[in-house]
Amino acid sequence: MKTNQLADAIRILSMDGVQKANSGHPGAPMGMADIAEVLWRKIMAHNPKNPSWANRDRFVLSNGHASMLLYSLLHLSGYDLGIEDLKQFRQLHSRTAGHPEYKLTPGVETTTGPLGQGLANAVGMALAEKMLAAQFNKEGFPVVNHYTYTFLGDGCLMEGISHEAASLAGTWKLGKLIAIYDNNGISIDGEVKGWLTDDTAKRFEAYGWQVFRDVNGHDSDAIQKVISAARYETSKPTLIMCKTTIGYGSPNKGGKESCHGAPLGSDEVALARKQLGWEYDEPFFVPEDIYKAWDQTERGGKLEHKWNELFASYEKAYPAEAAELKRRLNGDLPTDWEKAFNDVVKQWQTEKVKVASRKASQMTLDVLGKLLPELVGGSADLSPSNLTQWKGVQDFDPATGKGTYLRFGVREFGMTAVLNGMALHGGFLTYGATFLMFMEYARNALRMSSLMGLRNVMVFTHDSIGLGEDGPTHQPVEQIASLRMTPNMTTWRPCDAVETACAWKSAVKRTNGPTALLLSRQNLAPQERTDEQLSQISKGAYVLYQSADKPEVILIGTGSEVSLALEAGKKLASEGKAVRVVSMPSPEVFEQQDAAYKEAVLPASVKARVAVEAAWTDYWYKYVGLDGKVIGMHSFGESGPAEKLYEYFGITADKVYEAAASLIK
């Protein structure tokens, strides 16, 4: 077997890593080694000594189970990932996790594993590059000028998100996106011809992609030529379909599903070494001459130095633009934006604006759009309902790359994963929107956003049975609790325009995770607040009303149900009861406060507590205790006017009053 020893180094490290861990996927790394060697050594612009270099090419391993391929590439290229790290593959607290994890391993651009999402992330990265280039590049100064490459497999293409993301990429004319398909014909169940009979090439051509068919994935010259040719197409993304043999080099398991997701076995590893002509039996050993040929530090340093010189000239010619680009890539917010924003919020508090919180969100975007040029986002075909289009925003134009409003069509999953990719790229503050019910379509991308700690804002409107006549298919019940139970996700369910604005401010300032804004269709009454109460909204919960300093009962509400708690509370107060009403728009933020503040809002001595929310009730027992009561949903909704539904399901001020009165007795 004639092999490329530089690519074989990837195969050796990959099969050794999987074998030592006794867990993993050796097949794809061995099959894609030749493609990876060409891309990482000869084409891709990257600097191992500075993995965060702004103008680097992005690389996404969408078929994330092939993680040993990426770890081998990072190690061989000169990134801060030593041989001992490779030996600790899939072990607790190692930097070489089972699937690539963002922030854990230098050089890993995104966490991949759930198939198809890496492709969608890559679409987002390529879109971010195109938008930034349109906003900042000047004639003779292409300071934003890089490619996004992604490897993907059969599984990525079978997942529905690949259709959503690929269709958007073609529509947006992302000419600097190059996807390389490991067309080995094998998945866990065996030969995919029994369940994957799509004409992939025609499918992607129909999306508006450039497609190269039947490329020999083990011919380095052919691979280099086709990737180089792909880069000449500037108005279409490219799919390169590489014919490969899974487990290439393994004499008995190569080309078979047995090498997809299990170690080869020590005997087969030894046989593979012989078949590849690898002269060294010691596991994880790579000779110095191969390391030297692989080392990308000198080449990468020169590429970055050349770009630094270009940027220095750009900075002299366009100092304001250079400073703005730096600020945005650093993730910093503009100076004094918060003061200007707070002035508007105070004005709304004075004016007592009565609107639905979805409308209040749009009003907030009208303000933020003028203060934050990095703001970019859109809706999954629900702009008139989600109210995410703000005054003065321009639709994204694929021909020019200008405009910052994105129309994603009915693609909730693709939208969210694309926004994750944009957030990962940097330079933008991203937001997306749909009905809260349909966050279910985007659920896994939301989880990935939380897992990676990305600043991404999701606007989920029509947040309860209050949407009314569309009925139970559109009325969220369990979705709010599901979001709140997601680690590192922050939710806000504001009760009026002021709380909505404060929720947006919190989302903008948060840098270590996503925020979900849960917004109403129906109008919400404005609440009276002192300056102190206004400042306490940012703490996630605060005392909105009380009839005495030492309450005998506490009523907790969120969103549209705060007014119900307030009405019940005032009725109790009129009867001489010591009552406190707490608005808790964000339980997660409240939990981050110190013990003294939490005790001040919800004193442990007060056992009589009632929570009210038009959502699944179980979540609230953590705040009311087993002896408390929760007014909310215990079933799916019904079709009908909102006021009739609230009455039918017993989510009323009278029910809150009755529950509280029974606890006081």
User: So which residues are the catalytic ones?
Assistant: 412
599 to 543, 577, 596, 663: CA distances (angstroms): 12, 21, 5, 20
Instruction: Give the phi and the psi of residue 634 in degrees, each rounded to 5.
Output: -125, 10
User: Which amino acid does the sequence have at 14?
Assistant: S
**Separation CA 117–CA 445 (nearest Å):** 7
Cβ count within 10 A of residue 564: 24
User: Which amino acid does the sequence have at 227?
Assistant: I
**Separation CA 161–CA 416 (nearest Å):** 10
**Separation CA 111–CA 509 (nearest Å):** 23
Cβ count within 10 A of residue 131: 23
User: Which amino acid does the sequence have at 530?
Assistant: T
Residue 399: helix, strand or coil by DSSP? coil
Contact partners, residue 328, CB within 8 Å, separation at least 6: 373, 374, 426, 427, 428
What's the DSSP call for residue 241? E
Q: DSSP letters of 278-289?
A: ----STT---HH
**Separation CA 98–CA 68 (nearest Å):** 8
Q: Which of 231, 237, 234 is nearest to 211 (CA)?
A: 237
**Separation CA 326–CA 486 (nearest Å):** 33
> Which tokens in the block code for residue 394?
């321009």
**Separation CA 551–CA 580 (nearest Å):** 6
What's the DSSP call for residue 109? -
96 contacts 86 by C-beta, under 8 angstroms: yes
> Which tokens in the block code for residue 262?
């299990």
User: Which amino acid does the sequence have at 150?
Assistant: T
**Separation CA 414–CA 430 (nearest Å):** 14
What's the DSSP call for residue 549? S
Residue 573: helix, strand or coil by DSSP? helix
**Separation CA 658–CA 572 (nearest Å):** 10
Residue 133 is inside which H or E element, if any?
helix 117-136
Q: DSSP letters of 451-491?
A: HHT--EEEEEES-SGGG-TT-TTT--SSHHHHHHTSTT-EE
What's the DSSP call for residue 212? E
Q: Is 111 left (phi over 0), alpha (psi -120 to 50) or beta?
A: beta
Residue 16: helix, strand or coil by DSSP? helix
User: Which amino acid does the sequence have at 504?
Assistant: W
81 contacts 72 by C-beta, under 8 angstroms: no
**Separation CA 289–CA 446 (nearest Å):** 45
203 contacts 243 by C-beta, under 8 angstroms: no
User: Which amino acid does the sequence have at 78?
Assistant: G
323 contacts 105 by C-beta, under 8 angstroms: no
What's the DSSP call for residue 442? G
